[in-house]
Chains A and B, each alone.
Chain A
Amino acid sequence: MRRPALLDDPKRELWLAWYATIAFYTLYTVVFFIITRTQPPGKAWYTPTQVVGWFASRHEGLLIGFGLIFILGGLSATSIALITYSIRRMSVSRVFAYSYLIIYAVSAVPGFLFICVAMTVGAFRPGRDPEILRWIYDLGFLSFSGTMGVFLIGSLIWMVAILLDKNRVFPAWFGYLNLCNALTEVVVAPSWIFHTGVFAWNGVIAWWINVVVFGLYTGAFIFLLRNMILREDFGTGPLPDLLPPEGRGRMLAEFMSP
């Protein structure tokens, strides 16, 4: 009896991690934007009474949505693992991979889990003092938006690794896109100062522009990680190119190749 082809595929673990990455970002989008409606963020200038209303209108969503995150949020480790793997496949020092792994593992706590814990605590007892609820609300959004800077150094490390790499694991333009992403994370820092306007945590510059850049960046690296797995030969030298498809996809494939 023949074994299924998947079991013999030496890349099966890599594909598993890649599909888990897709599952994580889908879960993240559905939970934050649809179930809990914590993104786009609530207004930074809300009064305690308005914050009570904000929690009341999302009560079930916050408990169910973040409950899902507490069960499945660990899937975020797969994308970090895959990116660390990609850096290890480069011709650069292992220091880059270890630094990236540690920074992102630590950053996930303030940048991702704090908001989930804070908002769940807020929804857990709806009868709390409105001032305490606003304290929890501030903690959740400030930890989520205000700590974007902790990811900045990670992006720069990935950028330097890509630009130094001779194995052509990622195209250089993606190295520069890391810089663009890092620079837009800088502009979120004023959210610690402003309660209103474009620099508040829900502002046009601090949130909307930043999230558009982050969305494009995330889409690009998920696609490029897929290409890296397709090209992986488990050697130590340069990764081979993919043969570009014929027709309309050819130009895009040439742009995406290192």
Chain B
Amino acid sequence: MTTTERAVSPVPEQSPSEHVPGGRDIWFFVLFESLAFTAYFCVYLFNRTQHEQVFLLGQSHLLLWLGVLETIVLLTSSWAVASCVQDARAGRYDASKREALLTAGFGALFLVLKVIEWVRLIHAGHTFTSSEFFQYFFFLTVIHCIHLLIGFVVLGVLWYQLSDQKRRSQPTVEICATYWHSVDFFWVLIFALLYVVR
């Protein structure tokens, strides 16, 4: 097996009809992480059917309005990052940078709300080990927040790219936005499962 076995070929050009925002690689990440979350959700739903009363009791301690508020905040951050991509495409980089900051701001607000919710629940005696429902609650919300923290690094990359004309790259802007949307997407599913489905 040597290099002589296979000839070297030039990089194929991608036609406009084949264009995927951010490129296919980041969508592979979205797909794979979606499968991982789907596996967690299946385990959660299976255990919920086994101990329905325990899960219903646990869910009754959550504040639905706080979950709705968190969802609105994160959806707004997704709107801001979508606007950031549109402005970057149109060459309006100052507006694009402002929207990247706005995205991070809403992300930080979501994190603050989440920490307030965790502290409130822990003070009320609901911890990671207190019941089966709260095992899943803390696991899913913490693993989501780890994705969110990585999202702040991604937004930092986005800001860095937009700040200098030489570094600007539309695919990178779209990759960063796709990651942020995936964080939002996972939250909507977690919100529906933990707060809404009863």
Contact = CB atoms under 8 A, between A and B. Distances in A.
Interface in A150-187: 171-173, 175-177, 179-180, 183-184, 186-187
Given A183-B143, A186-B143, A209-B36, A172 B1 contact: no
Contact of B3 (A180, A231, A244): A231
Interface string A224-240: 00000111110000001
Interface residues of B, number: 33
B28 A177 contact: yes
Most chain A CB within a 10 A radius of its CB, from B7, B47, B135: B135
A171 B36 CA distance: 21
B43 interface: yes
Contacts of A176: 25-26, 28-29, 32
**Size category of the binding interface on chain A:** 35 or more
B11 A179 contact: no
A241 interface: yes
Contacts of A35: none
Contacts of A209: 36, 39-40, 43
A187 B143 contact: yes
Contacts of A186: 143, 146
A231 to B, nearest CB: 7
B8 A172 contact: no
B17 interface: no
Given A183-B36, A183-B146, A241-B11, A230 B5 contact: yes
Nearest to B172: A163
B150 interface: yes
A201 B43 CA distance: 16
A69 to B, nearest CB: 29
B132 A241 contact: no
A230 B139 contact: no
A172 B24 CA distance: 9
Given A199-B135, A209-B36, A173 B25 contact: yes
Main secondary structure on chain B at its contact with chain A?
helix
Contact of B24 (A173, A184, A198): A173
Interface in B1-43: 1-3, 5-12, 23-26, 28-29, 32-33, 36, 39-40, 43
A89 B166 CA distance: 26
Interface in B131-150: 132, 135, 139, 143, 146-147, 150
B8 A177 contact: no
Contact of B128 (A15, A172, A193): A193
Interface string A109-134: 00000000000000000000000000
Given A197-B135, A199-B135, A205-B139, A190 B28 contact: no
B163 interface: no
A175 B12 CA distance: 21
Interface string A181-214: 0011011001001100111000011000100110
A111 to B, nearest CB: 21
Given A241-B9, A242-B9, 4 more contacts: A172-B26, A205-B40, A213-B36, A243-B8
Interface of B: 1-3, 5-12, 23-26, 28-29, 32-33, 36, 39-40, 43, 47, 128-129, 132, 135, 139, 143, 146-147, 150
18 contacts: A9-B2, A173-B25, A175-B25, A176-B25, A176-B26, A180-B33, A180-B36, A183-B146, A183-B147, A187-B143, A197-B135, A205-B40, A230-B5, A230-B6, A241-B9, A241-B11, A243-B9, A254-B12
Interface of A: 9, 11, 15, 171-173, 175-177, 179-180, 183-184, 186-187, 190, 193-194, 197-199, 204-205, 209, 212-213, 229-233, 240-244, 254-255
